[in-house]
Amino acid sequence: MPDTMAVDYTTSIPNNVGLSEDRRVLKALEKWHPGYLDWWKEMGPEGFQESLVYLRTAVGVETGGWAKFDYVKMPEYRWGILLAPQDKERLIGFGQHKGMPAWQEVPGEYRAMLRRLCVIQGDTEPASVEQQRHLGATAPSLYDMRNLFQVNVEEARHLWAMVYLLQKYFGKDGREEADGLLRRRSGDVDQPRMLGAFNETTPDWLSFFMFTYFTDRDGKMQLESLAQSGFDPLARTTRFMLTEEAHHMFVGDSGINRVIKRTCEAMIAAGIHDPYDINAVRSLGVIDLPTLQKKANLHYSLSLDLFGSEISTNAANAYTNGLKGRYREDKIDDDHQLLNDTYPVLRLVNGQVETTLEPALTALNMRLRDDYTRETASGIKRWNKQIEKAGISYELKLPNVTFNRKIGVFSEIETSPEGLILDHKIFEERKDEWLPSQDDGAFVASLMHAEVRPGHYAGWIAPPKMGIDNKSGDFEFVQIQ
Ligand code: BYC
Ligand code: FE
Ligand code: FE
């Protein structure tokens, strides 16, 4: 049976879903493919399409050993359709259909809701590639450049994952949505991407690392919730996507760690102990810690917006109907229906920020966001250990969830990172203390020069502990042509 076999690389579209026996879907995908390649060439990594990149390609879906590393020209990357193995006994784990066999086809009454989830998920993937397309030109090393391109080809594969679901299960409107995913563009005035954070720019590598740390982690949380779906093809698709996601977050987490390491080393070597002596630190050609804090404030708050509103009937309906579960739903010990449960939600009550108990079903976006914040905070602790170890007195902190919000009730107010409600005028006066200013952006940009000699690293970032695929840090990860 096609569902657990190794990936079939003999078809034009590698897959483990038996595409060669599914003529209708194969034809639809083959029709979509040229437009996809045009999109990749137009909106994918700028300037490196002919280079040989040491990339991993998925060759199976079993745990461990699914990746093969080799030099590939990116436009020739074998983007495939890969679903985690099917569990034929799988039951729906939550909501009103709990205990029934998982659906192998789309239930008619949930068609619109499921399609919307697939389209939103699918829209973010190419958006991130578009946001990151200029970064190759300023990569701090070949190792980092490879990681960027690895993330890019995998996000593009995630687009394929959603396009497969749309074309296989949603007929004509699915095909139209698949075309729409290639039409919208990050930041475009007329046809923007669907969610806020995916229309922002990723101007430099510090933003790239913050994005992969904070925003790819929203991706992880959302994919984990969809991996619980009663619609089995969606659950299996997202489960395999999650195995790739781990590397994206590693790139961000280790990237920021290396920036911190380099900054602290340079400060200590120069005898600078005051992290707020920004001019002195910057004169060393490294990124001062307060600028890191501002970038973290920005990317965390943009990512919080991706969880939607505090109170959401969309979220309640998706759960009740068995389409989108909670983070690790199958590990939670309760009734998985939540009809009489409550959940504490931070809200705006008469202009004040207060916690109120809300029906658990409509508070599901907040529950997921809280799970996200917990995970995010544990990484920040590791970054702080690095600063402490260097003997510098500075602590990175997550801002309050009320800070710099554009979605939900806190978009109506302005607060400091500590959560203090401020006058709009005062916020405007002080925001350069909390969010990257033009001056900060210009300074970071001034450090962004490509370092393309194997084994060399730009002065603002420490080398990694080791390379990728057991290669050392001086391996030629990209052969630039
Ligand atoms: N920007 O009821 P609400 C990833 C809209 S990232 C603009 O609270 P809901 C990745 C909302 O659509 C993961 N609009 O919404 C990471 C709704 O509009 P309609 C992507 C927004 O549905 C890095 C209205 O406001 N996947 O994979 O409960 C690199 C009312 O809101 C925003 C998913 O998100 C926003 N931020 O929650 C690459 C999973 N937020 O319907 C990839 C699928 C809300 O009234 N999506 N709105 O016109 C979902 O589960 C939900 O749609 C959301 C929103 C969590 C996004
Ligand atoms: Fe993705
Ligand atoms: Fe990702």
Q: Which ligand is nearest to the CA of 161?
A: 2
Residue 418 confidence (pLDDT) above 70: yes
Q: What is the mean pLDDT of residues 58-83?
A: 88
What is the predicted pLDDT for the residue at 67?
86
Model confidence pLDDT, tens digit, residues 117-166 = 999 999 999 999 999 999 999 999 999 999 999 999 999 999 999 999 99
Q: What is the DSSP letter of 15?
A: B
Region 67-95 average pLDDT: 95
Band of pLDDT at residue 115, cut at 50, 70 and 90: very high
339: tokens are: 């009809």
DSSP character string of 75-133: GG----B--PPP-TT-B--SGGGTTSBPBSS--GGGHHHHHHHHHHHHHHHHHHHHHTT
7 CA distance to ligand 3 centroid (A)? 21
Mean pLDDT on 312-319: 98
245 phi and psi, to 5 degrees?
-60, -35
DSSP three-state, residue 248: helix
Query: Which protein residue has the closest C-alpha to ligand 1 atom 44?
Result: 308
Say yes or no to pLDDT of 245 above 60.
Answer: yes
Across the range 251-260, mean pLDDT stands at 98
| Cβ neighbours of residue 240 closer than 8 Å, sequence gap 6 or more | 58, 61, 82, 83, 84, 161
SS3 316: helix
d(CA 349, CA 356): 9
Q: Give the whole-angstrom CA distance, residue 10 versus residue 458.
A: 41
Among all bound ligands, the one having the nearest atom to the CA of 211 is: 1
Q: How far is the CA of 309 from the centre of ligand 1 (A)?
A: 9
* CA 219 to ligand 2 centroid distance, Å: 6
Alpha carbons 4 and 16: distance in angstroms, whole number: 7
For residue 90, what pLDDT is reported?
98
Compute the distance from residue 380 Cα to the ligand 2 centre, in Å. Answer: 22
Q: Which residues line ligand 1 (CB under 6 A)?
A: 117, 120-121, 124-125, 128, 155, 195-196, 215-216, 218-219, 222, 305-309, 312, 314-315, 324, 365, 407
Please state the atom number of ligand 1 nearest to the C-alpha of residue 364: 28
**Token match 């093969």: residue?**
68
For residue 402, name the pLDDT band (cuts at 50, 70, 90): very high
For residue 433, the Cα-to-chain-centroid distance in whole angstroms is 26
- pLDDT of 421 higher than 70: yes
Dihedral sign, Cα of residue 179, residue 181, residue 186, residue 192: positive
What are the tens digits of pLDDT across the range 41-64?
999 999 999 999 999 998 888 776
Q: How far is the CA of 218 from the centre of ligand 3 (A)?
A: 9
* For ion ligand 3, residues whose CB falls within 5 Å: 216, 219, 245, 248
Mean pLDDT of the chain: 96
Which residue in 231, 123, 229, 86 sits closest to 169, CA to CA?
Answer: 231
All structural domains of the chain, each given as residue ranges with its CATH number in brackets, are 19-479 (1.10.620.20)
Q: Which ligand is nearest to the CA of 362?
A: 1
Q: How much distance in Å is there from the Cα of 377 to the middle of ligand 2?
A: 21
Which residue CA neighbors atom 49 of ligand 1 most closely? 117
Query: Best substitution site from 125, 151, 211, 306 to test ligand 1's pocket, by max atoms within 8 Å of Cβ?
Result: 306
C-alpha 56 – ligand 3 centre gap (Å): 15
Q: Which residue's CA lies nearest to atom 36 of ligand 1?
A: 306
Q: Is 331 helix (H, G, I), strand (E, B) or coil?
A: helix
- Is residue 2 predicted with pLDDT exceeding 50? no
Amino acid 63: pLDDT: 72
What pLDDT, on the 0 to 100 scale, is given for residue 5? Answer: 59
CA of 208 to the centre of ligand 2 (A): 14
**Closest to 296 (Cα-Cα) out of 427, 207, 198, 395:** 207
- Expressed in angstroms and rounded, the spacing between residue 242 Cα and the centre of ligand 2 is 8
Rg (CA), the chain: 23
pLDDT tier for residue 174 given thresholds of 50, 70 and 90:
very high
Decide if pLDDT at 399 tops 70. yes
Residue 177 has what pLDDT?
A: 98
Q: Which residues contact 429 (CB under 8 A, 6 or more apart)?
A: none
Left, alpha or beta for 77 (phi > 0: left; psi -120 to 50: alpha)? Answer: beta
pLDDT, position 10: 82
CA distances, 460 to each of 118, 123, 181 (Å): 39, 33, 36
Residue nearest to atom 25 of ligand 1 (CA): 308
The answer, as to whether pTM is greater than 0.95, is yes
Higher pLDDT, 157 or 65: 157
What distance in Å separates the CA atoms of residue 438 and residue 433, rounded to the nearest whole number? 11
- Under a CB-based contact definition with an 8 Å cutoff, are residues 384 and 296 in contact? no
CB atoms within 10 A of CB 285: 14
Q: Is the pLDDT of residue 1 over 60?
A: no
Q: How far is the C-alpha of 385 from the C-alpha of 390, rounded, in Å?
A: 9
Which residue from 314, 327, 371, 409 has its CB within 8 A of the most atoms of ligand 1, so it is best to mutate?
314
C-alpha pair distances (Å), 265 with each of 273, 284, 397, 450, 451: 11, 11, 21, 22, 20
Residue whose C-alpha is closest to residue 290's, from 359, 368, 206, 214: 206
